[in-house]
Structure 1
Amino acid sequence: MDMSGKVVLITGGETGIGRATVELLAASGARVVVGGLLEDEGAAMMTAVSVAGGLAEFHKVDVRSSAEVDAFVDAAASAYGKIDGFVNNAAVFDGFVTCLETTDALWNHVLDVNLRGTFFGCRAALRHMVPTGAGRIVNVSSVGGLVGAADGPSYTASKHAVIGLTKQIACAYAAQGIAVNAVCPGVIATEIRKNSTRLLGDDAPKMAGVGVDTDWLPRTVPMGRKAAPSEIATVIRFLLSDEASYVTGQYFTADGGWTAK
């Protein structure tokens, strides 16, 4: 899919699914502007994209701050004259803790990043997309946004809410030429636990794994494996592309069959 000439912004693009998306979009010809907090990873991402011949830049942005998100988006729009796509990918994980184990601080931190941050990103992008009558927003939700037994309460609540937010904004702005969709990844081979522990700081719980035996993956996922981040990036690229011209208000599940059971 040719993304030449497109300007795409993405939050949390320095690691995992975000980085894979940045690399794919840049390889497809897009100029990618990344906002995140992990500066060393952001620098490594920029180097990798540059070596491959693509265009990507990193800016330190805390998505919990509407002022920082607005400044990030406004600066990109000023520099490049437009925003064709926006990917709300920044998120932190709650480590599968139970409701009784969820502290006020953990709940607030997860919801602030995963939900408020997504809302701030959508709102900032829409301010530039609506006047031009075009634009595509992709919000990264999760299988945890579809079922109740995949994650802890704060992560589950935030990712369910992202799907509702996606549908509402899609309906409200479809007539203005804006498409808004969500992607729901299943089990992906990333370092989300390690990165979330760093990002949550003192609010971080102990990051538990899934299950205590080695058979949980084939029992849970019909394909019997984790996905590579690049397999989610291809779905995001499709939703940002001209090929998805009649798609809005939808969530696309890439989970190896997990929710089909």
Structure 2
Amino acid sequence: MFNLKDKVVVITGGESGIGLAVCTSLSSVGAKVVMGGIQADRGQEACRQLNDKGGEVVFVKTDVRDREQVDALVRTAIDHFGKIDVLINNAGVFDGFADVTETTEELWDQIMAINLKGAFLTSQAALKHMIPQGFGRVINVSSIGGLVGRADGAAYTASKFGLIGFTRQMAASLSHTGITFNTVCPGSIATDIRSNSASVIPSAAHLMNRGVGSSDPDALKKVIPAGRKGTVDEIAAAIIFLASDEASYITGHDLTVDGGYVA
């Protein structure tokens, strides 16, 4: 595993699913973690467990749609640890497979506010500290739903394509500052997160389509060359790599972790 000893990492949607797996992996490789999330009880309990194992993890209740809360999340990293080295924008919601004819304006706005605007606000807050120090990693968790269009949610797909475009634009304009900007695109991942268009779900790893979402092994083999869903730990490993010094020349890249689905 890559060494992130004493790196300070801010992650959104860190209290469950992929986010919690990333926090666990970060803690195991020596990183200091500021975990943002909407579920305070779950986040505080996750922090307690990680700290009991020797980690340095702080939880901040954060709704990424709110600039003041996002600023407070980043400020916590500065106040507690003196810097921010890595930002992982993982918070996201799914839209319940609503196509364009079913998507209400309210649902569209909610998805865009969390999945796309949230990453913008958090990136903007973190870059104020990363640019002067001449180092940083910004890692956005998109989806294979941001790479290919399928018969799935209109707002979710649009937001995930937008997140990839946003990441590439930052890479093109700011990589000269010593910061890298990359996207991880999970495929079908087995998590404990429920797809619920009515609530804020702190994870960006949701099912790309109904076929990929199946639990039937035969159905999975028809759409995923690897023949199975991925694990949260496999996504966490990809994120840890992009956060490491070994990934210093990788920027503007979309790392697809999908068992070959897009291929």
- Into which bin does the TM-score normalised by the smaller protein fall? over 0.9
Q: Could you tell me how far apart the structure 1 residues matched to 2:184 and 2:152 are?
A: 17
Q: CA deviation at 1:253?
A: 0.1
Q: Aligned letter for 1:210?
A: R
Are the aligned partners of 1:95 and 1:209 in contact in 2 as well (CA < 8 Å)? no
| TM-fit CA distance, 1:43 | 2.0
Q: 2:221 pairs with 218, 224, 242, which one?
A: 218
1:122 is aligned to 123
Higher alpha-carbon deviation: 101-110 or 50-59 = 50-59
1:20-60: CA deviation from partner (whole Å, max 9, x where unpaired): 00000001000100111011220221122123221211110
In structure 1, what is the Cα distance between the partners aligned to 2:33 and 2:3?
14
The one-letter code sitting in structure 1 at the alignment partner of 2:90 is: N
DSSP 3-state at the match of 1:59: strand
> Once the two structures are aligned, what percentage of the paired residues are identical?
49
How far residue 77 of structure 1 moved from its aligned partner, in angstroms, is 1.3
Quote how far apart the aligned CAs of 1:150 are: 6.3
Alignment of 1:15 with 2:19, yes or no, is no
The residue number in structure 2 matching 1:239 is: 242
TM-score in terms of structure 1 length: 0.92
Change over 3 Å in CA distance of 1:75–1:165 after alignment to 2: same
Amino acid corresponding to residue 179 of structure 1 in structure 2: T
Q: Is the 8 A contact 1:24 1:233 kept in 2?
A: yes
**Relative to structure 1, is the Cα distance of residues 252 and 41 closer, same or farther in structure 2, using a 3 angstrom cutoff?**
same
Deviation sequence 1:57-76 (CA, Å, 0-9, x none): 11101100122111211232
Map of 2:164 onto structure 1: 163
* CA distance in 1: counterparts of 2:83 and 2:208, whole angstroms: 42
Question: Mind listing any 5+ residue stretches in structure 1 that lack a counterpart?
Answer: 201-206
Matched residue type, 1:229: V
SS in 2 for 1:64: coil
The SS at the match of 1:40 is helix
**Structure 1 pair 78–50 and aligned structure 2 pair: CA distance change class (3 A):** closer
1:25 aligns with 2:19: no
Q: 1:71 to 1:130 in 2, by over 3 A?
A: same
CA change 1:197–1:52 in 2 (3 A) is farther
| Structure 2 counterpart of 1:203 | none
Equivalent pair of 1:139/1:162 in contact (CA under 8 Å)? yes
Moved over 4 A (4+): 194-197
Q: How many residues align?
A: 254
Q: Structure 1, residues 127-175: CA drift from partner, whole Å, max 9, x if none?
A: 0000001111100000000011163111100000000000000111111
Q: Is the 8 A contact 2:152 2:208 kept in 1?
A: no
Maintained 8 Å contact 1:43/1:58: yes
Where do 5+ consecutive residues of structure 2 fail to align? Answer: 202-206
Counterpart CA distance in 2 for 1:51 and 1:105 is: 41
Residue 204 (structure 1) aligns with:
none
| 1:251 alignment partner, one of 244, 249, 254 | 254
